Amino acid sequence: MRSLGFVVAATVTAVGFLFVPALILGAPLEPVMGFVQKIFYFHVPCATMLFLSTFVCAGGSVAYLFKGSEAGDRVAASAAELAVLFGLCTLVTGPLWGRKAWGVWWQWDARLTSSLLLELIMIAYLLARRYAGPAGRRLAAALALFAAIDVPLVYKSVDIWRTVHPRTTVVPTLDPRMRPAFWSAFALILLVWSLLFALRLRLEKARAELAELQLETEDLLEAAS
């Protein structure tokens, strides 16, 4: 049943990859920025997935830190990778848009800097898990909490400080003719996120089970010899 759900979701995603770009191309051109504004349709959903992944990672980390939940740790590790992946997509597509719209690749303004900081914290999370030894998972979990604190700062930064980045009012005040394309792209990216998360979680669970089996086998073989 779970496999059937996965196949259906994967099929819908594949269809979405064909359907959504057509909707985006058919949406009206933004009068000031022109064609380059089409990046918006995937840039914003990717940034939202970065936030979602960070919150999921922080939730799992809280469960691991305060309740010792191994499942929470697996959820956190899976979400952290997705945070880095979607953060990378956001930080690459943003400057491509900015180069055309602002004339520069990068500005050290509040939104861009805090987003970069969030991405670096999530990379630090993965590095801590891999290289910080036995305490690595706990250290990484603490980092995830810092990352979650950074998310509201990233989101509200454009309203608090004067920045070159568009404000949070862009999506609510979007031209109604652009909304179908935007929300379709958003749904597609959310679906991709869900599929990747399910796959990554399955891998993490399989690794944990394998490690447990390996320990049991070592014990069995030692007892037999």
Partner 1 sequence: MRTKIRALYLFLAAFLAGALVWLAPALAAAQEFEKVSGAAREELPAGRFVAAAYGFIWVALLIYVVSIARGLARVRADLGDLKQRLDRAGPRP
Kindly list the residues in this chain that would bind partner 1 in the complex (CB under 8 A): 17, 21, 34-36, 38-39, 42-43, 46, 81, 85, 88-89, 92-93, 96-97, 99-100, 103, 107-110, 113, 117, 135, 138-139, 142-143, 146, 161-164, 192, 196, 199-200, 202-203, 206-207, 210, 213-214, 217, 220-221, 223-224
Nearer to partner 1, 52 or 143 (CB): 143
Taking a C-beta distance cutoff of 8 angstroms, is the pair 62, 72 a contact? yes
34 in helix, strand or coil? strand
Taking a C-beta distance cutoff of 8 angstroms, is the pair 192, 198 a contact? no
Place of tokens 């706990």: 138
Nearer to partner 1, 169 or 214 (CB): 214
Q: Kindly state the smallest distance separating residue 202's Cβ from partner 1, in Å.
A: 7
Return the exposure string of 161-186: e unless at least 16 CB atoms fall within 10 Å of the residue's CB, then b: eebebbeeeeeeebeeebeebbebbb
Q: Kindly state the smallest distance separating residue 107's Cβ from partner 1, in Å.
A: 8
Q: Kindly state the smallest distance separating residue 206's Cβ from partner 1, in Å.
A: 5
Nearer to partner 1, 172 or 187 (CB): 187
Taking a C-beta distance cutoff of 8 angstroms, is the pair 74, 204 a contact? yes
Nearer to partner 1, 151 or 172 (CB): 151
Place of tokens 């400057």: 95
Rounded CA-CA distance 216/220 in Å is 6
- Please tell me what DSSP assigns to residue 37: G
Q: Kindly state the smallest distance separating residue 169's Cβ from partner 1, in Å.
A: 19
Nearer to partner 1, 26 or 34 (CB): 34
Q: Kindly state the smallest distance separating residue 117's Cβ from partner 1, in Å.
A: 8
For 133, phi then psi, to 5°, come to 75, -155
